[in-house]
Amino acid sequence: MRILGIDFTSAPARVKPITAARCVLDGTVLRLERIDHLHGFRSFEAMLNAPGPWVGGFDFPFGQARRFVETVDWPLKRPLSWQAYVAYAHWLGRARFVTALEDYKADRATGDKQHRRVTDRLARSQSPQTLYGTPVAKMWFEGAVRLADSGLYIPLLQEDGDTSRVAVEAYPGVMVRALLGSLKYKGLDEPERRNARIQLVQELAGPRLARTYGFALSVSAAQANDLIDDPLADELDAVLCAVQAGWAYCQGDGFGVPPSADPIEGWISDPHLLEAVGE
């Protein structure tokens, strides 16, 4: 099975492209074939529309928190649906969407301004309303609508899509904490962070990954060096997303999404989260 791992950005350019790891899952081995750098949304959309079969893991939130969707002042019909609020946000446009998030938070009580989904709390990931630092709200705005418009099958969220092209939400932070603990592996290229990347690449090919995810990663020596040498770790994060997508594929029709998951919010596909909810 062809497996994709996508490290996403809300403003792709040559300086900061969308990074796509292209892999093949063959039995108990996930083999990295190549890494592509997509410098604009047109090439990203072409990748989404490429014929299947393939499963892709995308590192951005697919949904917003139910608390936000139910309380924001948007003219959404009941029952609420993922497609409807994604489409409305896109209709607003990026600038008005950002303003809507700021206005939403302005008069709300402390602790009720910015919401996390159930999966975010388990994964220790940021709220999809986050605009600053890592602007995952802008990533959601640019990414979710393109997934919807491409007619992909998205477990829980868009189950009338093309089942030969499957998108699951990925989040490398879950894997990295399990494999490295609190070690930092990206940012300034300090020796300890490079050493953490070396350890992470070794773990990806080792027995601990195979026990948890069902397969080991196969990379060439040159590919391993490239993953280690990148201080931003965009390529490494794309590979981690591919591992989560490969695991999701191995789970069958559910793609690692538990029955209790919220069809408004979406879910990060990773065995540690499935274990956390006991399903």
Q: Which pLDDT band, with edges at 50, 70 and 90, does 151 fall under?
A: very high
pLDDT-derived band at 224 (thresholds 50, 70, 90) equals very high
pLDDT band at residue 179, thresholds of 50, 70 and 90? very high
| pLDDT at residue number 62 | 98
The band of 188, judged by pLDDT with boundaries at 50, 70 and 90, is confident
Q: 268 - beta bridge partners?
A: 169
Mean pLDDT of 104-127: 95
Distance CA 246, CA 256 (A): 10
* Omega cis (within 30) before 79: yes
Percent of the chain with pLDDT over 70: 100
- pLDDT above 80 (res 141): yes
For residues 111-121, average pLDDT: 96
| pLDDT(54) > 80 | yes
Euclidean distance between CA atoms 225 and 130, whole angstroms: 33
Mean pLDDT of 213-230: 95
Residue 260 in this model has a pLDDT that exceeds 90: yes
Provide the pairing of β-strand 2-7 with 18-26: antiparallel
pLDDT at 84: 97
**Token representation of residue 82:** 């993922």
CB-based contacts of 174-182 (< 8 A; 24+ apart in sequence): 174/123, 174/124, 174/244, 174/268, 174/270, 174/272, 174/273, 175/240, 175/243, 175/244, 175/270, 175/272, 176/200, 176/240, 177/124, 178/212, 178/272, 179/203, 179/204, 179/208, 179/209
* pLDDT at residue 64, as a whole number: 98
- Give yes or no for residue 279 having a pLDDT over 80: no
Distances in Å between the alpha carbon of 186 and those of 189, 198, 231, 232? 7, 11, 5, 5
Angle, CA 111 vertex, CA 173 and CA 177 arms, to 5°: 15
Give me the mean pLDDT over the 25-50 stretch. Answer: 97
pLDDT over 80 at 133, yes or no: yes
Percent of the chain with pLDDT over 90: 94
